[in-house]
Structure 1
Amino acid sequence: MIDRLWDFSDPAASEERFREAADDDTHPAHVRAVMATQLARALGIQGRGAQALAVLDGVVSADSPSGDPERDVAEVRARVAIERGRILAATDRRAEAVPELTRGVREAALAASPFLVLDALHMLALNDAGHEEEWAAEGFDVLDGSRDPRVLRWGVALHNNLGWTMHDSGRAEAALTQFEEAVEAADRYGTAEQQHVARWSVARCLRTLGRTDEALELQRELARARPDDPYVQAELAALTGEEPTIEA
């Protein structure tokens, strides 16, 4: 249900759908609480962090029905912690975000939800400076135990994000391996957007490594598919010496 209601390219419309679902009394209390956490996420994406945190506070303050299974209760706690951490991280409050996301990992494990465990771990790998590789490694362990394509899709983000951590710390060879793993995961389980971004990252890393002919070939391939992509065009310009990249 969550995937059906989300449109990350239009968070305002997603907000309205999740608000309606969270207020729908025909849904069980657990489902309404889950919908409210996604309402908070939609608000956060729109830069309305204070409102988003208030929604999450409302979920926490609401009493869970005594008959709710423990897994359902743990799922709601996990989602609240993850979304709170996501919002805090987006507003440069990473020191506050990390304990929330760590709590999200624990609660997601209690809820027996590998998908949510990986969501929390990938956020930790992005925001817990100095521990990125440790959190990513935990994520890879979770992936190794799953056969669910929706869960395995997290491999795209984990490998891509770890690749950028390595790239930006001067380890481009190791980064390339991660970017190539992201391409493999994207081709098997990811979306068209993830496949595109993963290949762009490979090409960008090839440029760092001085393998410009390979990088140019790959960027031209991406440009044929998406001629208006500004990041692809910026890389083509950098590789042909026409103008600085977006990063410059």
Structure 2
Amino acid sequence: MITILIGSIVLCLLFAPFAHAEDLPVFDKLWNYDKPDETEKAFREILPQAEASGNLAYLLQLKTQIARTLGLQREFSQAHDLLDEVEKALTTDLSGDRAGDRAGDLSVAWIRYFLERGRLLNSSGNPEASRSFFLQAWELGRRTGNDFYTVDAAHMMAIVSPSEHQMTWNKKALEIAEASEDKRARGWLGSLYNNMGWTYNDLGEYEKALVLFEKAWEFRKDQADAGGARIAKWCVAHALRKMGRIDRALEMQRELEEEILAEGADPDGFVYEEIAECLYETGRPEEAAPYYRKAYQLLKEIHWVAQGEPERLERLKQRGG
């Protein structure tokens, strides 16, 4: 039944009026990674238009991103089912000139399929299985000159690789991003500086981490990315605390607290946590306690913290009193 259904979809695409991608909505601009449920809704609203367009490459790429929204909502089974559908459509033999014209270049759809299958596996707790998909995305991206997705694949390889290989993959991603003429590929630089900084941070090499966090901060400011700049500033302050420069670290975290309040943004549990740590480490546990409490109340609501770092939450709870 599934094979018949997919075959019917493909036939409909072959004989539907064809729409070029530039005539269709740029769905990647609809992404809000903080609200995947809203993004899923936005993507599904344009799905009928994509299905009627006859543009298979566009349709399949859109479906990979719907799968990504499902993964971010931890609807892993639904996401994998949708990617199964994408895979079957990609591997269906579309022979003949008319089919070739209608299918378009499917290389990007393949790359995005590999990326999202890998992300799903990693997010659901199977990073080992995800590597082969990220590696396939990397290899196809390099072969076809798709720098943006090649950098994405390399940065994901860094995330899921053993610690001794992480920096190698980060450097590969950085090399491509810095040399690329693709503006979107260069847009990865802030994330790459951040990721490399955290790799050094986890190794206890805080001075090297600081240099990269500062690069990320400057990049985000140059891009007028207020949210990204705030996160990067937090990372700089974190590294300073780890290096023992606690007064400056506390000053920067206090600035962030004031900026968030002035902008009317949601309170940030990570900022509260760092303020608490700075105060505690300078012998002010009573002053730190309310910040530990506020950090605990906010961070326990973040799924990856609650699931992955229960000891961290317990520590915040205990020190908050």
Please say which of residues 104-113 and 132-141 is displaced more in the overlay: 104-113
Give matches, 1:128-207, under 5 Å: 128-129=161-162, 130-189=164-223, 191-207=225-241
Query: Is the counterpart of residue 87 in structure 1 residue 87 in structure 2?
Result: no
Question: Cα deviation per residue 1:39-93 (whole Å; 9 max; x = unaligned)?
Answer: 00001000011111111111111135423677x3110110000001111111110
CA contact (8 A) 1:74 1:111 kept: yes
Query: Is the counterpart of residue 44 in structure 1 residue 78 in structure 2?
Result: no
TM-score (norm 2): 0.72
CA distance in 1, matches of 2:274, 2:176: 34
Corresponding residue for 1:98? 131
CA distance in 2, matches of 1:151, 1:225: 30
Corresponding residue for 2:242? 208
CA contact (8 A) 1:153 1:186 kept: no
CA distance in 1, matches of 2:200, 2:229: 20
Using CA pairs below 8 Å that are at least 6 residues apart, which structure has the higher relative contact order? 1
CA change 1:172–1:197 in 2 (3 A) is: same
Corresponding residue for 1:117? 150
Instruction: Give the 3-state SS of the residue equivalent to 1:226 in structure 2.
Output: helix
CA distance in 2, matches of 1:11, 1:229: 20
CA distance in 2, matches of 1:194, 1:92: 27
Instruction: Give the 3-state SS of the residue equivalent to 2:131 in structure 1.
Output: helix
Corresponding residue for 1:239? 278
Question: Aligned-pair distance for 1:20?
Answer: 3.5
Question: Normalized per residue, which structure has more helix?
Answer: 2
Please say which of residues 131-140 and 237-246 is displaced more in the overlay: 237-246
Q: When the two structures are aligned, how many residues end up with a matched partner? A: 247
CA change 1:157–1:102 in 2 (3 A) is: same
CA contact (8 A) 1:125 1:131 kept: yes
Q: Which aligned segments of 4 or more residues in structure 1 are displaced greater than 6 angstroms?
A: none
TM-score (norm 1): 0.92
Q: Which amino acid aligns with 2:130?
A: A
Counting aligned pairs with the same residue, the percent is 31
Gaps of 5+ in 1: none
Question: Aligned-pair distance for 1:190?
Answer: 6.3
Q: Which amino acid aligns with 1:216?
A: L
Corresponding residue for 1:32? 59
Structure with greater Cα Rg: 2
Instruction: Give the 3-state SS of the residue equivalent to 2:145 in structure 1.
Output: coil
Instruction: Give the 3-state SS of the residue equivalent to 1:8 in structure 2.
Output: coil
CA change 1:107–1:21 in 2 (3 A) is: farther
RMSD: 1.9
